[in-house]
Amino acid sequence: MVRSLINPENMKKNRSGITRRRFIQSTAGAVAAVSASGFVTSFGNITEMKGNKSGIMHRKLGKTGLDVSILSFGGGSQFLRNPDGTWEKLLETALEGGINLFDTAPGYIASKMGQIWDGKSVDSSEERYGKILPAYRKQIILSTKLDTRKPEEAKAEFETSLRKLKTDYVDILFIHGIEISDNIADIENGVYRSLVSFKEAGAVRYIGFSSMGDAEHASKLLDKLDFDVVLVAMNATQYGNFAKFVLPIARKKNTGVMSMKLMRDIVGKEASPSELFNYTLSQEGVVTGLIGHTGMDTLSENIRLAQEFTAATFDLYKRKELEARLLHLAGPHALCWAQPGYRDGGVA
């Protein structure tokens, strides 16, 4: 059973039973050891490392110091499309392939109107994670999100997530889907304080927000408040201009940047998976690409792309050429996630 966030013991220990101070010190030591043995080069403010058996490059996630694989695993709608008997192997293959960051959210469910898909009861993304990932908890970075904007609802929602994930803490907790309609002052005086209190209680190691809506609004929120990590939509169509507005502030504040929607709705449409992956991961400041996978072939291909990636893959000419080629896809007409009211996770 998951302990209450307000349990004094939870303020001192995580699930492994060691104190928060010892936990942080031991993590920092491990990262330092890997850096010394696996250092390759410096890419902006990112340290790139090859010191892992999988061959997937790792980067530091900003001021968190977390050592993150450049390919992360998304638990949204693409993951939920995998039926029972398939998704389990997908998670295990991701782990074996060297992916160490797994992201989910309470709203990632297998039906937009309930828990029924093709006439069968289907676990939510968090519940699926809770069946496989606890055995690897000390080796992975786990992130989930808060859908609510109401502080009085935040604690109950987060504790439900912890219960489904079968863990006493998460490494990163995001405010889910910041939009232009989110008033920054309301966020600051409301749900942001909830995130800070969870962090102080030891139930969350690092806090952040996700956004695929208005990049300028997201940049103002990032500049105003103290976030450790940000998860934003960023791809070669340049829709939303997150690279322009968010990356400079993130670099200045040493905020870890995770990119999503690298390929969604554009892969195979005048651009290859390799081009799209390398384009985003060669952006100065981007630490990891968060991708959802339907089917083993897609996951295997993306693991291969991560293993083969080098920061020098995309020079300025290649970048501009790809941007020009895909500019006509930058908008709601081509990108389902850019349509008003879109929220990832539902599988109709």
pLDDT (tens digit per residue) in 72-87: 999 999 999 999 999 9
Distance, in Å, from the CA atom of 320 to the CA atom of 314, rounded to the nearest integer, reads 10
Return the pLDDT at 121.
55
Distance between CA atoms of 122 and 116, rounded to whole angstroms? 6
CA distances (Å), origin 79, targets 32, 82, 164, 287, 344: 33, 6, 17, 22, 11
* Placement of tokens 């995580």 in the chain: 14
Domains of the chain: 15-338 (3.20.20.100)
Share of the chain residues as helix, strand and coil, in percent rounded to the nearest 5: 45, 20, 40
**Region 341-348 average pLDDT:** 66
Closest by Cα among 232, 193, 75, 202 to 143: 75
| pLDDT per position as a tens digit, 43-82 | 455 666 654 667 899 999 999 999 999 999 999 999 999 9
What is the reported pLDDT for 46?
Answer: 63
Distance between CA atoms of residues 94 and 296, nearest Å: 10
Q: Does position 122 have pLDDT exceeding 90, yes or no?
A: no
Averaged pLDDT score across all residues of the chain: 85
pLDDT tens string 282-339? 999 999 999 999 999 999 999 999 999 987 778 888 999 999 999 999 999 999 999 9
Asked if residue 305 lies in contact with residue 71, where contact means CB atoms within 8 angstroms, the answer is yes
197 closest CA partner among 165, 140, 158, 141:
158
Quote the pLDDT of residue 323: 96
pLDDT exceeds 70 at position 22: no
Residue percentage of the chain with pLDDT more than 90? 74
- What pLDDT score was predicted for residue 213? 85
pLDDT at residue 278 tops 60: yes
* pLDDT value at residue 238: 95
Span 134-150, pLDDT tens digits:
999 999 999 999 999 99
> Angle 251-256-257 (CA atoms, 0-180°, nearest 5)?
85
